[in-house]
Amino acid sequence: MMRTWTRSLGLFVLFASGLVSAAAQDWTLRAWIRLSADPIISPRDEGWESAGTFNPAIIRHRGKLVMLYRAQDKNGTSRLGYAQSTDGLHFTRSSQPVLSPEADYEREGGVEDPRLVKFRDTYYLTYTGYNKKDAQLCLATSKDLLHWQRQGVILPAYKGNWNVGWTKSGAIVPEKIDGKYWMYFLGTSNDKFEQIGLAYSPDLIHWTEATDVPVLPPRAGRFDSRVVEPGPPPIVTKNGIVLVYNGADDNLVYRTAIAVFDRSDPRKLIWRSEQPVFLPERNWEKGGQVPNVVFVEGMARQGSRYLFYYGGADKYIGVAGVPVIP
């Protein structure tokens, strides 16, 4: 049975009506609908994906939806699994991972938290390389989503304009703006809060921070008071850059929200959710390796709706649909 949860969702009114500059209370309520009562992908067997399958990226390739997801074994090492689907709900999984820890910055910890974009004939995969010491934002490229060429660490830990810790979660804007490529990412400020920063690149390989301060900080006492982390690659509309993000409160309960940045200046925030649009409800979202987590990381349009793919409690993968206003 489908499960519906409704709160303020300006995202899809934004597409149709151009209300970015209007008051948020004028935006229509839209529902995130769970398209499956159960996880669509779960841990299996005793090998590389036995402990957790979560944090999925998604992209369309040759008429199918291809998912790369984080798979964790019982030793805590992460690899990226591969699955494909014709309907976005039922996935066929490969028996072997497509990316496993090999580089020094990945060994013993793994490759984690993928996000996917395509420019021309090349797929760009941002992911976290973790070696049990540092977590750093990395990049790999591919022509077919199966064979990957590492491009290395693109935003090193501890060396940012404001970031003093690890780097993660690279959400690349899927088109050039002002002659540059842009990417929202996670860093940690001096006060130990995880926040969203912004970087730019001339070639998608070499990245430079664009600001001296975060572009989306936490908000004290709110659902996003402790962690603010990018979700899928943003959606670019004529009215703004729509970033779905994941926020955690002081109890590390993760919920989903939306921020809109200026279409011509990705640094400039113009709107932000007052309330989350999606939150843990199912038992498998509340109980797992990390309880009380929905973490949206993949997005694809399928007909008249957007499909959002998310990790549940750092153990399972689910999907929610949101209608697009024609």
Whole-model pTM over 0.75: yes
**Residue 237's pLDDT is what?**
87
Average pLDDT over every residue of 273-294: 96
Torsion of CA 68, 74, 78, 81, to 10 degrees: -20
**Residue 29's pLDDT is what?**
44
Confidence of residue 313 (pLDDT cuts 50, 70, 90): very high
Residue 4 has pLDDT above 60, yes or no: no
**Residue 271's pLDDT is what?**
93
**Residue 110's pLDDT is what?**
97
Q: Which domain holds residue 138?
A: 3-320
Residue-wise pLDDT tens digits, 77-115: 999 999 999 999 999 999 999 999 999 999 999 999 999
Residue 254 has pLDDT above 60, yes or no: yes
In-domain check, residue 106: yes
Computed from CA positions of residues 283, 287, 292, 298, in that sequence, does the dihedral angle turn out positive or negative?
negative
Confidence of residue 30 (pLDDT cuts 50, 70, 90): low
Residue 219 has pLDDT above 50, yes or no: yes
State how many domains the chain has: 1
Residue 57 has pLDDT above 80, yes or no: yes
In-domain check, residue 326: no
Residue-wise pLDDT tens digits, 139-177: 999 999 999 999 999 999 999 999 999 999 999 999 999
Q: Which residue has the higher pLDDT, 46 or 24?
A: 46
Confidence of residue 31 (pLDDT cuts 50, 70, 90): confident
In-domain check, residue 184: yes
Residue 210 has pLDDT above 70, yes or no: yes
In-domain check, residue 136: yes
What is the 3 state secondary structure string of the chain?
A: CCEEEEEECCHHHHHHHCCCCCCHHHCCEEEEEECCCCCCECCCCCCCCCCEEEEEEEEEECCEEEEEEEEECCCCCEEEEEEEECCCCCCEECCCCCECCCCCCCCCCEEEEEEEEEECCEEEEEEEEECCCCEEEEEEEECCCCCCEEEEEEECCCCCCCCCCCCEEEEECCCCECCEEEEEEEEECCCCCEEEEEEEECCCCCCEECCCCCCECCCCCCCCCCEEEECCCCEEECCEEEEEEEEECCCCCEEEEEEEECCCCCCCEEEECCCCCECCCCHHHHCCCCCCEEEEEEEEEECCEEEEEEEECCCEEEEEEEECCC
Confidence of residue 326 (pLDDT cuts 50, 70, 90): low
In-domain check, residue 325: no
Residue 269 has pLDDT above 60, yes or no: yes
The chain-wide mean pLDDT, for the chain, equals 90
Q: Which residue has the higher pLDDT, 196 or 13?
A: 196
**Residue 238's pLDDT is what?**
84
Query: Residue 218 corresponds to which tokens in the numbers above?
Result: 């936490």
CATH of the domain at 89: 2.115.10.20
Residue-wise pLDDT tens digits, 8-17: 344 443 433 3
Confidence of residue 6 (pLDDT cuts 50, 70, 90): very low
**Residue 9's pLDDT is what?**
41
In-domain check, residue 150: yes
